[in-house]
C-alpha cells in the first residue's frame, strides 16, 4: 500500500521537515546519533542530518527509501537506511541519543505498544524521544492519517505510556498543516518530548 502511494511523482509529505521537528530542533544536536522510524521519503531524517546528527532512517517501503536516498543526495546529507517492517526491528541492537516517530499511526494498539517499548529501549539513558501525530479528533478533519480512532493518541494515553520517562512536552493542539498532499489542512495534533531516565 505504501509503495503504491509513494510511486506517484513528487513527495507525498513534501521535502520540508514536519513543523514539530523544526520547533524541537534544539534537541537535534551535532554529533549525536538519531533513529528516525517509519521515516518515509526522508524529509525528517535529512533535516536531522543537516543539523549534524548521525542519522539512521527506517521504513518498510523500498520506494520511500529510494526517494529518501535521492533527497539526501540532492541535499548533500548523509543518512544510513534500514528497510524493513518495524515488527521485525531489532530495538536492542544499537542505542541512540534520540529516537523520533513522526506520523507513525499505521500501528494499531498492540503494535503501537511494542513500538513505544522499542523506542525506549533504543535510547541511551538521558536520550530524547520525539513523537508527533494525530488525536482521535483528526477523523473529523479527514486531512491525513488513517481512519482508525484507536490508532490515534490522546494526552492521557501518552502520559500513561511514557510515565517511566521524564516528560518535557506533552501538548494537544489544532493547527493548519501543509506537508505535501498527504497532510493538508486543519489537523488535530499531539506532541510528546520525553527524556529517558
Ligand atoms: C504517514 S507516513 C509518515 C512518513 C514520515 N514519518 C513523514 O512524516 O514524512 C507513515 C510511514 O510509515 C511506514 N510504515 C507503515 N507501516 C510500517 C511498518 N510496519 N514498519 C515500518 N514502517 C511502516 C510507511 O511506509 C510510511 O512511510
- pLDDT at residue 136, as a whole number: 97
CA gap 165, 129 in Å, rounded = 9
Return the residue whose CA atom lies nearest to atom 3 of ligand 1. 103
* Per-residue pLDDT tens listing for the chain (197 residues): 899 999 999 999 999 999 999 999 999 999 999 999 999 999 999 999 999 999 999 999 999 999 999 999 999 999 999 999 999 999 999 999 999 999 999 999 999 999 999 999 999 999 999 999 999 999 999 999 999 999 999 999 999 999 999 999 999 999 999 988 878 899 999 999 999 99
Looking at the CA of residue 59, tell me the nearest atom of ligand 1. 22
**Pairing relationship of beta strands 183-196 and 123-134 according to DSSP bridges:** antiparallel
CA-CA-CA-CA torsion sign (8, 10, 13, 17): positive
Q: Dig out the grid coordinates for 93 from the structure.
A: 541492537
Cβ-based neighbour number of residue 24 at 10 Å: 20
The domain that contains 89 carries what CATH number?
Answer: 3.40.50.150
Domain count, the chain: 1
The residues lining ligand 1, judged by C-beta closer than 6 Å to any ligand atom, are: 2, 13, 18, 38-40, 43-44, 59-61, 64, 85-87, 102-104, 106
Please give the residue range of the domain that contains residue 87: 2-196
User: For ligand 1, atom 19, which residue shows the shortest CA distance?
Assistant: 85
Amino acid at each position: 500500500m505504501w509503495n503504491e502511494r509513494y510511486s506517484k511523482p513528487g513527495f507525498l509529505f513534501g521535502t520540508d521537515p514536519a513543523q514539530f521537528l523544526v520547533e524541537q530542533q534544539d534537541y537535534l544536536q551535532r554529533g549525536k546519533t538519531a533513529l528516525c522510524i517509519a521515516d518515509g521519503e526522508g524529509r525528517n531524517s535529512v533535516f536531522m542530518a543537516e543539523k549534524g546528527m548521525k542519522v539512521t532512517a527506517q521504513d518498510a517501503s523500498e520506494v520511500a527509501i529510494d526517494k529518501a536516498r535521492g533527497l539526501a543526495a540532492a541535499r548533500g546529507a548523509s543518512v544510513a537506511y534500514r528497510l524493513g517492517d518495524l515488527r521485525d526491528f531489532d530495538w536492542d541492537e544499537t542505542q541512540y541519543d534520540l529516537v523520533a516517530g513522526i506520523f507513525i499511526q499505521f500501528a494499531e494498539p498492540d503494535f503501537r505498544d511494542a513500538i513505544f517499548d522499542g523506542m525506549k529501549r533504543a535510547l541511551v539513558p538521558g536520550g530524547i524521544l520525539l513523537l508527533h501525530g494525530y488525536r482521535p479528533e483528526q477523523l473529523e478533519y479527514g486531512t491525513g492519517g488513517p481512519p482508525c480512532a484507536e490508532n490515534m493518541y490522546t494526552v492521557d494515553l501518552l502520559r500513561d505510556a511514557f510515565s517511566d520517562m521524564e516528560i518535557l512536552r506533552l501538548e494537544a493542539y489544532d493547527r493548519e498543516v501543509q506537508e505535501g498532499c498527504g497532510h493538508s489542512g486543519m489537523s488535530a495534533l499531539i506532541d510528546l518530548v520525553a527524556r529517558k531516565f
